[in-house]
Amino acid sequence: MKLYETTIVIDSTLKADEVRSQNDKIVNFISNHGGNIVKVDDWGKRRLAYEIKKKQYGFYLQVRFAGPEALPLLLEREYRLNESVLRHLTVKVDPLVIKEEQKAKKAAEVESVSEAWDEIPVDAEDEVLLS
């Protein structure tokens, strides 16, 4: 199984529950065709850089998943048949990117722990004992 990331722009004229339904439909499609969902990131409604099908806004969804090599082709077919999807892009995730994200996450955790230690108040008696 390879790791993929797909980003979808959904029509902004849909209601919130319809957008949620479209998001769930895409996630379920991936799961039903042998994919394992790693991360779902809903970006919400954003302005498009240029008009697509006379629309200036769209709902963005990004899904990272592991799946068989045939799954991106099936996804593309599904996107093309779905009139609510304005644009889509599916790419294979580079293993180096994953390692960099893990390093950044660990660095952020270490940073938060060190900040927590800096915020702990020290009594004057403790300072005398430490010196």
| pLDDT 10s digits, 65-96 | 999 999 999 999 999 999 999 999 999 988 88
First-to-last alpha carbon distance for the chain, in angstroms, is 57
CATH, domain range 2-93: 3.30.70.60
Answer whether 84's CB lies under 8 Å from 14's CB: yes
Contacts of 85 (CB under 8 A, 6+ apart): 8, 9, 10, 11, 22, 79
Q: What is the pLDDT of residue 23?
A: 92
Strands 2-11 and 55-67: antiparallel
28-46: average pLDDT: 93
Q: Which residue type, as a one-letter code, is found at position 46?
A: R
Q: What is the pLDDT of residue 121?
A: 65
pLDDT above 70 (res 24): yes
39-60: average pLDDT: 93
Report the share of the chain in percent with pLDDT over 70: 88
pLDDT above 90 (res 26): yes
Write out pLDDT tens, residues 85-129.
999 999 998 888 778 878 888 888 777 777 766 666 656 555 555
Q: Which residue type, as a one-letter code, is found at position 97?
A: V
Q: What is the pLDDT of residue 126?
A: 57
Q: What is the pLDDT of residue 127?
A: 57
Q: What is the pLDDT of residue 18?
A: 93
